Amino acid sequence: MTIKMHKVWFDGDNLVTQEIQEDNIYKREPVAWMYVNQDGECEQIEYEAPPDDPSVTPLYTTPPQRQWVGLTDEDRQELAAEQHSWEGLCFAVEAKLKEKNGG
């Protein structure tokens, strides 16, 4: 399956459309940068990339992509040994996957 996305914006009176390459669709890049004071409070937000500065926090529009963590053979054997019904096994598998994936 091919995913196609376009970035669209106005440049003066002209509408500009740019296709985003598929390998860049899920690439996380900051959309702005926040300057934080010593108290951890926001001082200002900039939309242009600042020079390297430890008081600047990048801001993103999407959360980071997490890597899915599945069950190991040991997990499966342990869960199967502990359960006495299919329903119990389903609930145990769901709980274990939530635990491993931060859900």
pLDDT tens profile 67-81: 788 889 999 999 989
- Which of the 8 DSSP states describes residue 22? G
Residue 22's pLDDT band, with cuts at 50, 70 and 90, is: low
pLDDT tens profile 24-60: 666 677 888 898 888 888 888 888 887 777 778 888 8
Residue 1 has pLDDT above 60, yes or no: no
Of 39, 37, 68, nearest to 53 by C-alpha is 37
Mean pLDDT of the chain: 82
3-state class of 85 per DSSP?
A: coil
Contact predicate 66/57, CB 8 Å:
no
Of 72, 40, 68, 64, nearest to 54 by C-alpha is 40
pLDDT of residue 68: 80
Beta bridge partners of residue 20, listed in sequence order: 5
Residue 9's pLDDT band, with cuts at 50, 70 and 90, is: confident
